[in-house]
Amino acid sequence: MTSAGSAEVVRVTGQGAGPQAARLLHRAREARLAGERTPAVPRAEIDASWDRAVRCGVDPDQSPESELLEADEIEHRRHSTALGELMPLLRAGLASIADAARQIMVVTDAEGRVLWRQGNAGVLRRAHDICLEEGAAWSEAATGTNAIGTALVDRVPVQVHSAEHFIRALHQWTCAAAPVRDPRDGRLLGIVDISGPASTFHPATLALVDSVARLAEGELRSRHLAEIERLRSVAAPILCRVGGRALAVDAHGRLAAVTGMAPVDRLPLPKSLRPGRVWLPSLGMCQVDPLPGGWLVRVGEGPAEDVPRRVVLDLSRPRTPAVHLTGPLGNRTQRLSPRHAELLFALAAHREGRTAAELARDLFGDAGRTVTVRAEISRLRRRLAEVLAHRPYRFADGVGVEVVHPDHGADLLPHSMAPVVAEARRAARAT
C-alpha cells in the first residue's frame, strides 16, 4: 500500500502490500541505509525506528541472535513482575488464537527480554532460528525495528511486517505488539506480542493484541482494588485504636484508610521504606509500621510504644501450622502454608541468618534453588514484614522467637521433606 504524504513523498507500508508496494518499501530501506534520498518512505513510526536503529549502529545484515539470560535469571524476572500473575489471562486470550493462526504469543519484560512464549509448535521451532526464544533481547538497540522493541520505545501498539523490519533476517516475519502498564503508577511492565511467518499477516492482529493487553491491565486494576479492600479491613480497627492523624497505605502509597486528616489519593513513599521514624516531605516526621500488604503511617508521632515484638511459630498441630505475632500494632495469628512453615522453622533454627543458598539447602538439599527461595521469602515478607529482615534472611533484631513443637518429635511437619525438618525429627527421636 502507498499513500501520498506530500507532492514529493510517498508513504509505503508493507502490511498487506502488493508486489509493487513491497518493492518500493525495499528500495526505501536500501536508500536509507545508503544515506540516499528517495520519494518513497515507510510509515512515520517505521521511519523513526529505522533512524534510531542506524544511530544505534545496528547492522541490517546481522543475525538477530543475542546472549540469552540464564535460566535462574529468567525465573527471577518472572517472579519479579506482575505479568506472571496475568499469564493465565494472556494464554486464554491469545495463545490458542496464535496457535490456530500459525503464530506464537511472546511476553517480554520492560527491557524487551523474552520471559514467556507459547503457540504453534512449528512456528516455535522456526522462531529458534531468529532467536525469538526465552531470555533473548528484542529491544531496538539489540535487533533494530521490530514490534516488541518499537512498542517499548513508542509506548503504543505497533505492527511491523516483512521489510519494515530493519534486520534482513526478519523480513519473512510479521509481528504485532502492545505495552502493558501497571495501573497503579503507569509504570511499563512489559510487552505482549504475536509473531509469525509473514504469510500469516492479518490487519486485525494488532487490535486483538491491544485489546488483550487492556484486559490484562483491567485485571491488575481489579486485583489492586481487592488488595486495597483487604488492607482496609486490617487497618480499620487499628486506626480506631491509635487515634490522632494516621493513614494506611499499600506498598505503592495508595490510600486504604485514614483517620484524623483529609484523605489523599496517593502518599509518596521512599523507595526503601523501613519501619520506624521517617521524614515524609508531604507530612513531616512520621512513625511507620508495617501492615499485611502495606504500611501504617502515624503523622507527627514519637517512637512506637515500647511493646516487644514476639513471634510464636506454632507447629504443635501437624496439619495446621500457624504463626502468632505480638507487637506495637496488637496481636494477630496467621495460618501458614507448608513451605512457609518450613522457611520460618529454618530461620528459627538459625537466628544468625541464612543466605538464599543456605535456605535452598535447608529446604531442598540443593543450594542452586535460590530463585524459588527468594520468591517464597518475598511472599512471606509481604505478610510478616515487621519481623523479618534480609541480607541475610533472618528474624529482625529485637524480635523474640519461640517454636512450639508437637508432643511427639515425629509429628513435626510430618509431610515435609525439607532436610532441616528431617534432621530435627531425627534429633527428637534420638532424645
The model's pLDDT over 407-416, given as tens digits with 9 standing for 90+, comes to: 888 889 988 9
pLDDT digits (tens, 9 = 90+) for 350-369: 999 999 999 999 999 998 89
**Residue 209 and residue 185 in contact, taking contact as beta carbons nearer than 8 Å:** no
Given pLDDT bands bounded at 50, 70 and 90, which one contains residue 213?
Answer: very high
| Percentage of the chain exceeding pLDDT 90 | 56
Whether the per-residue pLDDT at 263 is higher than 50: the answer is yes
pLDDT digits (tens, 9 = 90+) for 390-408: 889 999 887 889 999 998 8
Cα–Cα dist 3/277, whole Å? 63
Average pLDDT over residues 32-41: 69
Q: What pLDDT score was predicted for residue 19?
A: 61
Domain extent listing, the chain: 2-42, 71-222, 243-299, 309-430
Whether the per-residue pLDDT at 6 is higher than 50: the answer is no
Given pLDDT bands bounded at 50, 70 and 90, which one contains residue 304?
Answer: very low
Cα–Cα dist 89/298, whole Å? 39
Q: What pLDDT score was predicted for residue 398?
A: 79
Q: What pLDDT score was predicted for residue 422?
A: 92
What is the dotted CATH code of the domain comprising 71-222? 3.30.450.40
Q: Which long-range contacts (CB under 8 A, 24 or more apart) does 321-328 make?
A: 321/413, 323/384, 325/384, 325/386, 325/387, 327/289, 327/386, 327/387, 328/289, 328/304
Q: What pLDDT score was predicted for residue 13?
A: 59
Tell me the pTM.
Answer: 0.67
Average pLDDT along the chain? 87
Rounded to the nearest 5 percent, the helix, strand and coil shares of the chain are 40, 25, 35
Whether the per-residue pLDDT at 332 is higher than 70: the answer is yes
Whether the per-residue pLDDT at 167 is higher than 90: the answer is yes
Average pLDDT over residues 175-188: 92
Whether the per-residue pLDDT at 297 is higher than 60: the answer is yes
Q: What pLDDT score was predicted for residue 22?
A: 66
Which residues are CB-neighbours of 258 under 8 A, at least 6 positions away?
239, 246, 247, 248, 264
